């Protein structure tokens, strides 16, 4: 199956030094549009680890569509970056035995971009639109009749002589992906037959993902080493893959031919300041500042940001979410607070 890519897939928000963190779930420049990520992508539902509920739902929907010889219903996938949305679109196309056309909303700025793409779709093909919450208004309005009635309405001519022409489309499946389901307009959201949220992966699933990727990368990781990587990748397969590449670099440079154990993983990732829960320097600096300068908090976000030389929005969007998820940090009406779990992670005594 070919993946046809049209246009650049762009990073979600480019504006910070925190962007180059090894634990960032958003693809780095060299990971975008690249065969690198593709090489590690599962190709079938069986190969796709975790997200069991989503897999079950799609398995039944795909089999039903195949049985009836129809296109699969449109699918909306939402959830944090790096959890397997693009991968699932490719897998679904593979299961349907059709091509997956991959594009993203920022590449569909002009009406003719989406019109050309829709007209080129063969029966039952999958059209994947990443970052679908960023669609231009005109593009979105062209999509409504396409999704609902397999029709696009084109206006030809200008002024009083202009008229609308309807063009028929082949049946197709739109798979949309977004990290911000809330930013989607409700008419668009309502046109998806299947909507599903992807969750962070369990440690067990991550271990299986790490094992699978390590095998594909020809990295002889011990079971404990897999566990160690799984615990550091912040619930996110994309980060697991990236950590594995850093470990492979380290092993290559050290000339290690033997199996890679948890100790070697620790050494390799220490170089990137990634600790055993997946915190990096930015995360630990934030907690440390709170503890050392503010007695653990609560302290306002702006004060914290000023102290760290970061802007508050970046801190809130890029650094805090994982700390909150781990329960190391709490947002209170009076500001940010380090929890006892956060304190003990940094070796500080608990407080009542
Ligand atoms: N369920 C999974 N099993 C194994 N690997 C996965 C899984 N989900 C994602 N990956 C890996 O993580 C990488 C990033 O996934 P991707 O689908 O691009 O995430 P998203 O589109 O949600 O940002 C993929 O290249 C793939 O190797
Ligand atoms: Mg993606």
Range of the domain at 320: 281-345
User: Distance between CA atoms of 138 and 118, rounded to whole angstroms?
Assistant: 14
CA-wise closest residue to 22 among 226, 233, 199, 206 = 233
* Domain assignment present for 220: yes
Q: Which ligand 1 atom sits closest to the C-alpha of 201? A: 1
Same domain, 105 and 138: yes
User: Distance between CA atoms of 140 and 147, rounded to whole angstroms?
Assistant: 10
Q: Which ligand 1 atom sits closest to the C-alpha of 77? A: 22
Residue 90 CB less than 6 A away from ligand 1: no
Q: Is the pLDDT of residue 3 over 70?
A: no
pLDDT, greater one: 295 or 161: 295
Domain boundary among 166, 197, 228: 197
The three-state secondary structure class of 153 is strand
Residue 80 CB less than 6 A away from ligand 1: no
DSSP-assigned letters across all residues of 124-137 = TEEEEEETGGG--H
Which ligand is closest to the CA of 216, given by its number? 1
Same domain, 82 and 19: yes
Which ligand is closest to the CA of 10, given by its number? 2
User: Distance between CA atoms of 205 and 49, rounded to whole angstroms?
Assistant: 6
* Domain assignment present for 350: no
CA of 84 to the centre of ligand 2 (A): 7
Pairing of strands 163-168, 172-178: unpaired
* Residue 266 belongs to domain with CATH number: 1.10.8.60
* Domain assignment present for 276: no
CA of 238 to the centre of ligand 1 (A): 6
Distance (Å) of CA 304 to CA 143, 202, 324 = 44, 31, 15
Where does the pLDDT of residue 39 fall: very low under 50, low under 70, confident under 90, or very high at 90 and above?
confident
* Domain assignment present for 179: yes
Domain boundary among 144, 172, 197: 197
* Rg value, the chain, Cα: 23
User: Among all residues, which ones are annotated catalytic?
Assistant: 85-86, 130, 179, 238
Q: What is the number of structural domains in the chain?
A: 3
Same domain, 149 and 287: no
Q: What is the pLDDT of residue 34?
A: 61
Q: Which ligand 1 atom sits closest to the C-alpha of 50? A: 1
CA of 241 to the centre of ligand 1 (A): 9
Q: Whose CA is nearest to atom 17 of ligand 1?
A: 84
* Residue 308 belongs to domain with CATH number: 1.10.10.10
Q: Is the pLDDT of residue 105 over 80?
A: yes
Mutate to test the pocket of ligand 1, among 104, 178, 197, 238 (most ligand atoms within 8 A of CB): 238
Q: What is the pLDDT of residue 189?
A: 96
| b/e map 199-231, b = 16+ CB within 10 Å | ebbeeebbbebbbbbbeeeebebbeebbbbbbb
Which ligand is closest to the CA of 238, given by its number? 1
* Domain assignment present for 351: no
User: Distance between CA atoms of 132 and 178, rounded to whole angstroms?
Assistant: 6
Residue range 127-138, pLDDT digits in tens: 999 999 999 999
Same domain, 300 and 261: no
123: how many CB neighbours lie within 10 A of its CB? 12
Same domain, 90 and 193: yes
Domain boundary among 176, 197, 218: 197
pTM above 0.85, yes or no: yes
Same domain, 27 and 112: yes
Interval 49-60 mean pLDDT: 97
Q: Are 107 and 6 in contact (CB under 8 A)?
A: yes
| b/e map 31-55, b = 16+ CB within 10 Å | bebeeebeebbbeebeebbbbeebb
* Residue 176 CB burial class (10 angstroms; 0-12, 13-18, ≥19): buried
Q: Are 102 and 132 in contact (CB under 8 A)?
A: no
Residue range 199-222, pLDDT digits in tens: 999 999 999 999 999 999 999 999
| b/e map 241-262, b = 16+ CB within 10 Å | bbbbbbbbebbeeeeeeeebbb
The three-state secondary structure class of 338 is strand
Same domain, 193 and 207: no
């Amino acid at each position: 199956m070919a993946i046809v890519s049209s246009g650049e897939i762009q990073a979600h928000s480019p504006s910070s030094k925190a962007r180059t963190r090894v634990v960032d779930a958003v693809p780095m420049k060299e990971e975008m549009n690249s065969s690198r990520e593709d090489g590690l992508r599962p190709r079938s539902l069986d190969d796709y680890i975790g997200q069991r509920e989503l897999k079950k739902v799609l398995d039944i929907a795909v089999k039903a569509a195949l049985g009836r010889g129809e296109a699969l219903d449109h699918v909306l996938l939402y959830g944090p970056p790096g959890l397997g949305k693009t991968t699932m679109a490719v897998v679904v196309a593979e299961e349907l035995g059709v091509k997956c056309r991959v594009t993203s909303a920022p590449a569909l700025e002009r009406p003719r971009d989406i019109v050309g793409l829709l007209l080129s779709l063969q029966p039952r093909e999958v059209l994947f639109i990443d970052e679908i919450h960023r669609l231009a208004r005109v593009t979105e309005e062209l999509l409504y009749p396409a999704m609902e009635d397999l029709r696009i309405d084109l206006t030809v001519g200008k002024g009083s002589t202009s008229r609308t022409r309807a063009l028929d489309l082949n049946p197709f499946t739109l798979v949309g992906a977004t990290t911000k389901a809330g930013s989607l307009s409700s008419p668009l959201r309502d046109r998806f037959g299947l909507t599903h949220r992807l969750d962070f992966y369990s440690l067990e699933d991550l271990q299986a993902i790490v094992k699978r990727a390590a095998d594909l990368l020809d990295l002889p990781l011990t079971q404990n080493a897999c566990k160690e990587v799984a615990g550091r990748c912040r619930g996110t397969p994309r980060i697991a893959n990236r950590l594995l590449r850093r470990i492979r670099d380290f092993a290559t440079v050290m000339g290690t031919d033997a199996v890679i154990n948890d100790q070697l993983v620790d050494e390799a990732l220490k170089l990137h300041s990634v600790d055993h829960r997946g915190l990096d320097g930015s995360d630990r600096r934030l907690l440390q500042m709170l503890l050392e300068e503010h007695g653990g908090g609560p302290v306002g976000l702006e004060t914290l940001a000023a102290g760290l030389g970061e802007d508050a929005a970046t801190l809130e969007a890029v650094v805090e979410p994982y700390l909150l998820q781990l329960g190391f940090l709490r947002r209170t009406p009076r500001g940010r607070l380090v929890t006892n779990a956060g304190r003990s992670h940094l070796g500080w005594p608990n407080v009542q």
